[in-house]
Homo-oligomer: A and B are copies of this chain.
């Protein structure tokens, strides 16, 4: 193992499933790509995305207090790069990248028609953390493509490795580690003592 105190980039924790964040305020719609996001609570269901205060999306969410989180399959990975490397302050991304949107149910902000799963989120809380803002949304609705889940994901997601590199899941590698395996191990361990 090598040790480095301050690497240039912190790409060691990737892959991260790419999320396309959609925000809308007063008919201004923008989409950005996020690699820094995770669920943070079960009850209530909360999902967090970390966004730089420089981003146009940051501004839109602060005003609209809602957003949609969209997960896309690997055949759309180029779209993730396009939405990540451009700013809604410079271009109107929906028309430039020819993005089809759908109406949400419980928020005004739309979602990506081609996503395989979508969380509709209402802003629950936000706070600064270093050079980013943690936007915590309460999930108020879920859209998903039923062919992509069994009920766990069985399609090819767009995973980010850092530094413009993308990859997807090896769906043939799926395995289950059940509670029974743990119990079997523990009961054997007790006998071994």
A residues 96-113 near B (Cβ < 8 Å) are 96, 102, 105-106
Is there an interface contact between A82 and B182, defined as CB atoms closer than 8 Å? yes
Residues of A in contact (CB 8 Å), total: 95
Is there an interface contact between A169 and B170, defined as CB atoms closer than 8 Å? yes
CA distance A157 to B161 in the complex (A): 11
A residues 38-53 near B (Cβ < 8 Å) are 38-48, 50
Q: Contacts A5-B141, A11-B151: A17 and B19 contacting too (C-beta < 8 A)?
A: no
Is there an interface contact between B102 and A43, defined as CB atoms closer than 8 Å? no
Is there an interface contact between B142 and A185, defined as CB atoms closer than 8 Å? no
- Taking the complex as formed, is A64 at the interface, i.e. its CB lies under 8 A from any CB of chain B? no
User: Which residues of B are found within 8 Å of A132, using beta-carbon distances?
Assistant: 40-42
Contact with B along A1-33 (1 / 0, CB 8 A): 111111100111111110100000000000000
Instruction: Give chain B nearest CB distance to A158 CB in angstroms.
Output: 10
Is there an interface contact between A164 and B179, defined as CB atoms closer than 8 Å? yes
Supply 25 A–B pairs (Cβ within 8 Å), ascending by A.
A1-B145, A3-B142, A13-B19, A13-B39, A14-B17, A15-B15, A15-B159, A15-B169, A40-B129, A41-B50, A43-B130, A77-B175, A77-B177, A82-B182, A86-B182, A96-B186, A127-B127, A152-B161, A153-B161, A153-B162, A166-B175, A166-B176, A167-B173, A167-B174, A168-B169
